[in-house]
Each structure stands twice: as structure tokens, then as C-alpha cells.
Structure 1
Amino acid sequence: GFIRAQTIAYDDFIQLGGEQAAKEAGKARDEGKEYVVADGDVMLFKFNV
């Protein structure tokens, strides 16, 4: 099932040049199942089977 979603704002993702740079700049955050997705969120869903 669902574990969490790593979320980066689209503007940060583009400005910093991608996922790794956003992580290094501290712009990536982990969100749980209660998070309401915002327009422009770039998300990586983590789950187990």
C-alpha cells in the first residue's frame, strides 16, 4: 500500500534543474495520505506491494 509521496513544487523543480537538485536544496518534502495535492506539484509515490 501507499507509504508516502515525495513532493516538489513545479517552479522549484524547473528552476533548480530537476529532482536531485531540488532534494539537495531542501525543496523536496514527504507528504502523507492526508495531503491535498496542489496545482503544479511534482510527485514521486512510494508504496510497497
Structure 2
Amino acid sequence: MAADVNWYDAWFRAQTQAALEDARAGTLQVLVMQAAQALIDAKRQIEPKS
């Protein structure tokens, strides 16, 4: 059982490190947030102010 725990720990650490080093990880979130902000800004321009 200890061998399984050690194997899983090594695998988990390797997966985590690979995800941290993946340059694509932050790009998509930035694009989504920019698109959301553009929608918010467009909506604010259309609605009359109370």
C-alpha cells in the first residue's frame, strides 16, 4: 500500500507542476473576462440612466 501512496503522490505532483507550467492556463480566463467586460460596457451604454 505504501508503494501505491508514493506512486500517487509522485503522479499528483507531476500533474500539478505541469498545470502550473502550462502557458495556456491563464490565457483563456483573460479572454473570457475581457469578453464579459465588453458585454457589461455595451449594456451600460444602451440602458438609460435612472
TM-score after normalising by structure 2 = 0.20
* Richer in strand (by share): 1
User: Which of these two proteins has the greater Rg computed from alpha carbons?
Assistant: 2
Greater RCO (Cα-Cα under 8 Å, separation 6 or more): 1
* Richer in helix (by share): 2
